[in-house]
Structures are given as C-alpha cells and as structure tokens.
Amino acid sequence: MTLEPTRTIAELEELRRLTGDENGAQRVAWTRTWEQAREFLRARLDGTGAREQVDEAGNQWFTLRGASDRELVIGGHMDSVPNGGWLDGCLNCLAGAEVVRRLAGEGEPPVTVRLVSWADEEGARFGRSLFGSSAAAGTMADQDELRKLVDRDGIGLPDALAEHGVSLDGALAARSQLANAAAYLELHIEQGPVLESLDLPLGVVLGTFGVERSRVTWRGQAAHAGSTPMDRRRDALAGAAKLALHIREIAAEVGGGAVCTSGGVVCRPGIVTSVVETAEQLLDQRHLDADDLARMLALAQEAAARFAREESIEVEWERIWSIEPILFDETLIELADESVREVAGTSHRLPSGPLHDAAEVSRSGVPTVMLFVQSLRGLSHTKLEDTRREHLALSVEALDRLATKTIAWLS
Ligand SMILES: [Zn+2]
C-alpha cells in the first residue's frame, strides 16, 4: 500500500464536518464529541491489524506488532479547545494513521510501531494541559490539585474522567506504556508565524523553550505631581519603564531566539496627580538554552539594580514560575532534517514556544523530535486556523519519511 496524503486531508475535512460547527472544532476532551473523534480515528485504523488499547489515563493506543519489542511511537491529540481549529492535534493523529496504514500494507515491520492519541492535551475544560502524556511520562505530580478541579458547570474532574472509564488515582499506571518506547515522533502545525515568514512549508523542532517568570517590584515615593520638582522625584514607574525597553537589548545581545516580555505593570497609587510609589512589573523570559536563559535573567537583574540607583528607588525580584528548556534528540533532529529536505527542498530548525505532548515524552527520557508545518497567519486555537493543502500533503510525506528513517535507526 502506498502513502496517500490526499486521503489524510479528506479525512481531516470529514472530521471537521463531524465534530465542528460554525464556530470551529468542538472536540473538547472528556465530552461526547471527543469520543466521536476517537471513534473516527479507530475506524481509520480498521483492517490494519493494529490493536487498540485505551490505557489508565485515557490515552488511545494502536499497536502494530513488529519483529522486535522496541517501539517507534507516533503521537498526537484528538481533543481541541472549544471553537478551535481543524488541524491542531488531529493532523498529528491522522497523518500517523496514514503512516501506520502504509507500514501495515508492507508486512511485519522490523520494530513495533504505535500510534497514540493522548488524552486531554489542551486542558480546555479543567485547565490542566498534557493530562494523558504527563501520566504516561511519569511527571504527573498534582493528583491532589486535580481532584479539586471543576468545570464551568460544576462537574468535578474525577467525575468527568469516570464517565470515560478513567480513574484519577489509576491514571499513573499509564507509565508502563512508554516502557519499550525507543523513539517518539510528533507532527504539529506551527501555531506561529516563523515558517510562513520564511516561505517554508516545514520545519524541525529543536525543543521547547525554558521559561523564567518574575515579578519585579519597584518602590519609590508618592509625591504631589504639582509641587515635586523633576530632580527630586523617586518615581517607581521610571525603573519599570527603563526595564521594559532594556529587555529588547538583552534579547538581542543573548540572541538564539531569545524572547522577553514585560506583560504588565500595576502602579500605585495609580492616580494622575501623584508620582508612582510602587510599580509591580511582570516579566517573562524564554530561551532554548538553559545557560542563555540564566544569563538573560542575570542581565535583567543587573540592569534593574542600575536603574534603581539612577532613579533613587528600590527593586526586588521574585520568581513566579520557571521551567527548564526541553531539548529534542540530536539523531532524530538530523533524521527529521533529512526528511524535510527530501520532500520540501529546504529545512529550517526552530524552537517551540508552546509546550506539547512531545515535551512530556522527551522529559521521560524517550528520544523525541517534532516536525512543524506552516500555519497561515500564525493563527491557532480559532476557527481561522489553516494550512495550505499542499503543505499538509508535504507534512504527511515528511512524517512518513521520518518514520522510515527512524525504524531503520532502531533496527
Ligand atoms: Zn496541539
């Protein structure tokens, strides 16, 4: 059986008709529509000989037994956000199904090949993303918080899970699913503007950004806006303003895709007739390299201390949240690069801003790589999400080539 990328596109369009409405995709996890989407995936693998199993966390697996127990895993997610796009997550699964169909037609593969549709990647209903993949990766450590989560209608997460045969306490047993995984591949729409701006259909993802989030509190002195001469002011906002602009220089100096955002500043007393006494600034810094990320933070802190001296104010830093960069496997990145060059002529390597199921799998120690296909206007999580048909076809081909190369690598 030969690969038929046009069939994948036709299936994506059929899935859109089945599980979407005039506002977009409605495949929210732990709902009837999501089950319908999973039923759709099941039917696509009918007759391939791939055995279906739903694990303790609700992940849906299709296993094509090979000559060896070592496993190549291809993953995606059938769930969407409410009013979502037609490609996010399900392109991965349906392209993976196409690859499994092609492989099944050629007899027993040298290694076992599995397709997984991860449960609740989006976390749209309960606010907890990467549910199924974190359970399988063994990184789910928030069972007590998960127990308390409720949706907008007051339904608790454990009850919603139970309706789909999943027990929150049992979910961690999904860990055993990755025991024989030797490589993990995931194709995804980019959900950003980089590939479109380079006029390239496909890219290879190097990993997911590390993130440092800080609250920077500046303290000066409230003083009358009319009676306080300019050279006598201790203006907290002046420090925040200097830093908000200086982070551009830091990003340029560190380079390598560094991004910094001053996402908010709250001023007190916050009235037109007073110099600002306190300014609470939120800072988000991201980089793919852990040392560069640490340097970005140190540079911002140094600059902030200088601005505080210049403005005769005080500054204090507090870390709100952070996560290490997650780097994908070097061999698989090379194989992905080759695959993209073969089908599209040119490849481009880029980091991922958003987290993906692939990040959880990679964290658990399974060699992992992702392919991105161009998103039109960089839009996602909206019904406007789209990708050119010819680019979708290329992405299915690239995933297929990558699977072939990976199987050869594992054999
Ligand atoms: Zn997704």
- Mean of the pLDDT values across residues 197-201? 97
In order, the DSSP letters of 250-298 are HHHHH-TT-EEEEEEEEEES--TTB--SEEEEEEEEEESSHHHHHHHHH
Taking the centre of ligand 1 as the mean of its atom positions, its distance from the CA of residue 92, in whole angstroms, is 9
Question: Is it the case that residue 233 has pLDDT exceeding 90?
Answer: yes
Taking the centre of ligand 1 as the mean of its atom positions, its distance from the CA of residue 124, in whole angstroms, is 12
pLDDT score for 320? 85
Taking the centre of ligand 1 as the mean of its atom positions, its distance from the CA of residue 347, in whole angstroms, is 22
Instruction: Write out pLDDT tens, residues 94-145.
Output: 999 999 999 999 999 999 999 999 999 999 999 888 999 999 999 998 889 8
Taking the centre of ligand 1 as the mean of its atom positions, its distance from the CA of residue 88, in whole angstroms, is 5
Taking the centre of ligand 1 as the mean of its atom positions, its distance from the CA of residue 219, in whole angstroms, is 41
Model confidence at 265, in pLDDT bands (50, 70, 90)?
very high
Taking the centre of ligand 1 as the mean of its atom positions, its distance from the CA of residue 115, in whole angstroms, is 16
Q: Taking the CA atoms of 250, 258, 241 and 355 in sequence, report the sign of the dihedral they define.
A: negative
Of residues 95, 157, 148, 94, the one with CA closest to residue 124:
157
Tell me how crowded residue 117 is: count the other CB atoms within 10 A of its CB. 30
- Check residue 165 and give left, alpha or beta (phi > 0: left; psi -120 to 50: alpha): left
Cα gap 121→355, rounded to integer Å: 10
Q: Is residue 347 within 8 Å of 202, Cβ to Cβ?
A: yes
Model confidence at 169, in pLDDT bands (50, 70, 90)?
very high
pLDDT score for 394? 98
pLDDT score for 353? 85
Taking the centre of ligand 1 as the mean of its atom positions, its distance from the CA of residue 108, in whole angstroms, is 30
Distances (CA, A) of 148 to 59, 125, 319: 22, 13, 25
pTM listed for this prediction: 0.88
Taking the centre of ligand 1 as the mean of its atom positions, its distance from the CA of residue 207, in whole angstroms, is 15
In order, the DSSP letters of 388-406 are -HHHHHHHHHHHHHHHHHH
Taking the centre of ligand 1 as the mean of its atom positions, its distance from the CA of residue 319, in whole angstroms, is 28
Taking the centre of ligand 1 as the mean of its atom positions, its distance from the CA of residue 162, in whole angstroms, is 24
Per-chain mean pLDDT for the chain: 96
Model confidence at 321, in pLDDT bands (50, 70, 90)?
confident
Q: Is residue 204 within 8 Å of 310, Cβ to Cβ?
A: no
Taking the centre of ligand 1 as the mean of its atom positions, its distance from the CA of residue 187, in whole angstroms, is 10
Instruction: Write out pLDDT tens, residues 56-71.
Output: 999 999 999 999 999 9
pLDDT score for 323? 84
Taking the centre of ligand 1 as the mean of its atom positions, its distance from the CA of residue 252, in whole angstroms, is 29
Q: What is the DSSP letter of 328?
A: P
Q: Is residue 278 within 8 Å of 236, Cβ to Cβ?
A: yes
Taking the centre of ligand 1 as the mean of its atom positions, its distance from the CA of residue 284, in whole angstroms, is 22
Question: Is it the case that residue 355 has pLDDT exceeding 90?
Answer: no
Alpha-helical (H) ranges within 312-388 are 330-344, 357-363
Taking the centre of ligand 1 as the mean of its atom positions, its distance from the CA of residue 374, in whole angstroms, is 14
Taking the centre of ligand 1 as the mean of its atom positions, its distance from the CA of residue 181, in whole angstroms, is 21
- The number of C-alpha atoms within 13 Å of 239 and in the hemisphere containing its C-beta is 38
Cα gap 85→100, rounded to integer Å: 24
Taking the centre of ligand 1 as the mean of its atom positions, its distance from the CA of residue 356, in whole angstroms, is 7
How wide is the angle at C-alpha 75 spanned by C-alphas 72 and 77, nearest 5°? Answer: 165
Structure tokens at 105: 């037609």
Taking the centre of ligand 1 as the mean of its atom positions, its distance from the CA of residue 302, in whole angstroms, is 37
Taking the centre of ligand 1 as the mean of its atom positions, its distance from the CA of residue 79, in whole angstroms, is 8
Residues with CB under 5 A from ligand 1 (ion): 88-89
Residue that is written with structure tokens 């050629």 in the block: 106
If DSSP codes are grouped into helix, strand and coil, which group holds residue 112? strand
Taking the centre of ligand 1 as the mean of its atom positions, its distance from the CA of residue 369, in whole angstroms, is 15
Question: Is it the case that residue 1 has pLDDT exceeding 80?
Answer: no
pLDDT score for 190? 97
Taking the centre of ligand 1 as the mean of its atom positions, its distance from the CA of residue 270, in whole angstroms, is 40
Taking the centre of ligand 1 as the mean of its atom positions, its distance from the CA of residue 89, in whole angstroms, is 4
Tally helices (H) and strands (E) across the chain.
Answer: 12, 15
Chain centre to alpha carbon of residue 222: 43
- Check residue 191 and give left, alpha or beta (phi > 0: left; psi -120 to 50: alpha): left
Chain centre to alpha carbon of residue 188: 9
Pairing of strands 68-76, 181-189: parallel
Taking the centre of ligand 1 as the mean of its atom positions, its distance from the CA of residue 266, in whole angstroms, is 33
Model confidence at 261, in pLDDT bands (50, 70, 90)?
very high
Taking the centre of ligand 1 as the mean of its atom positions, its distance from the CA of residue 152, in whole angstroms, is 22
Taking the centre of ligand 1 as the mean of its atom positions, its distance from the CA of residue 240, in whole angstroms, is 35
- The number of C-alpha atoms within 13 Å of 118 and in the hemisphere containing its C-beta is 32
- Mean of the pLDDT values across residues 28-35? 98
Q: Is residue 399 packed enough to be buried (19+ CB in 10 Å), middle (13-18) or exposed (0-12)? A: buried
Taking the centre of ligand 1 as the mean of its atom positions, its distance from the CA of residue 59, in whole angstroms, is 15
